[in-house]
Homo-oligomer: A and B are copies of this chain.
């Protein structure tokens, strides 16, 4: 008969008993197939209640150490499998986290937006309002494309701000553009060939490739991507409003050439990545490619991570009618990745006019900041030393340095002084080293007061 000194262990009585018996089974003190004492007998023997025994037996059964035979009793399971696995001593966990450069003195390469500009108090107010007024809706599952209120607000905004006629059902909301790119690969097919701009964001390539799609690259002239280089591809991923890093805005003729390319063959699509259209600083926004596409060939994408704050992971895409229908047929089983709390908050942020106000404020702010930066540059660098390439839009411009140093040498020498800068050639998709002499000045997160010092260091290299 099993006898245990249960006082040696911690926790509720049933747990102490369960652990004791389990140990005996694992150590082979009770053998496979052996009959366990009945609950009543064991209770009597140990001087505890049958309910405690029952709880311990239930747990042992649940985990598979014993089994019950109706009207007969409990038996020990065959646990010979347990011995088959060698259990090595667990070493402590060594995880190498992605490194961050902590010691940067000045960073020309960061394209984050200043978090101080986020209208935090308004957002907090609307979030509180959402929590108190929408309890019922908040706990309803969001449709796969997002809650109707948010999609309606986005559609209205796109109408007013970008001249786009969009049915809210065409809009799919998701947790970041990276996520939506992945959904697009699922929708359009990973057997398709995706063409991205060269130079361009390498992350876009990484995302397509990590989703199993093949990427090719198209070179650019002053009007943007070269249409003749698209012959072999199915999907062109472009940012016609303001290309990074070149700053090119695609003129209307090239836009129509692109649409003509897409119309030539079934299955061809253009992904219009409109990530910073809100930051055209003068004049009215350039009409989107989507707004002049009458054949359902343009997938429009935008994000609030850029225009609001990168910690808000809400992006959306506008699918042409046929693709929207295909999305709902093929991918509606994917739940929306954005929580209803933030969807409703953003919906009222847009529909109450705060988003427009915020964008206008940001355009003024960045316009002023841009002027300040340009002034510092013009004051400290002569036109013999450099040329500034900029076109009134976006949150960066390009400084073309007249230097005999290679791009790599400039970057390394600056890095020795803890100044981080990237070049247009860093964004070239072919890995071969070319010298663009074009340096990218992201000013959205720049500390203008320290700029002069950084420019001094740059000058000393020339």
Using an 8 Å CB-CB cutoff, how does the interface string of A247-290 with B read, 1 for contact, 0 for none?
A: 00111111111011001000000000000000010111011000
CB closest residue in chain B, given A186: B210
Q: A62-B286, A64-B252, A175-B337 are in contact. List 4 more A-B contacts (CB 8 A).
A: A64-B254, A89-B294, A98-B328, A139-B311
Helix, strand, loop or mixed for chain A's interface?
Answer: loop
A142 to chain B, nearest CB (A): 7
Query: Which of A33-41, A128-136, A426-434 touches B?
Result: A128-136
A62-B249, A252-B79 are contacts. A311–B337 as well, Cβ < 8 Å? no
Question: Which of B64, B144, B179, B284 meets A253, CB within 8 Å?
Answer: B64
Report the Cα distance A280→B58, complex, angstroms: 12
**Residues of A152-188 contacting chain B, CB below 8 A:** 165, 167, 169-170, 175-176, 178-179, 182, 186
Whether A287 pairs with B252 at a CB distance below 8 angstroms is: no
What would be 23 A-B contacts, judged by CB atoms less than 8 Å apart? A55-B283, A63-B287, A64-B253, A79-B256, A80-B253, A85-B259, A85-B263, A88-B295, A93-B170, A95-B170, A95-B321, A97-B169, A98-B328, A120-B135, A127-B127, A127-B341, A138-B311, A139-B309, A176-B335, A178-B334, A313-B335, A313-B336, A341-B341
- What is the size, in residues, of chain A's interface with B at 8 Å between Cβ atoms? 111
Whether B337 pairs with A337 at a CB distance below 8 angstroms is: yes
Whether B84 pairs with A260 at a CB distance below 8 angstroms is: yes
> Is A455 an interface residue, CB under 8 A from the partner?
no
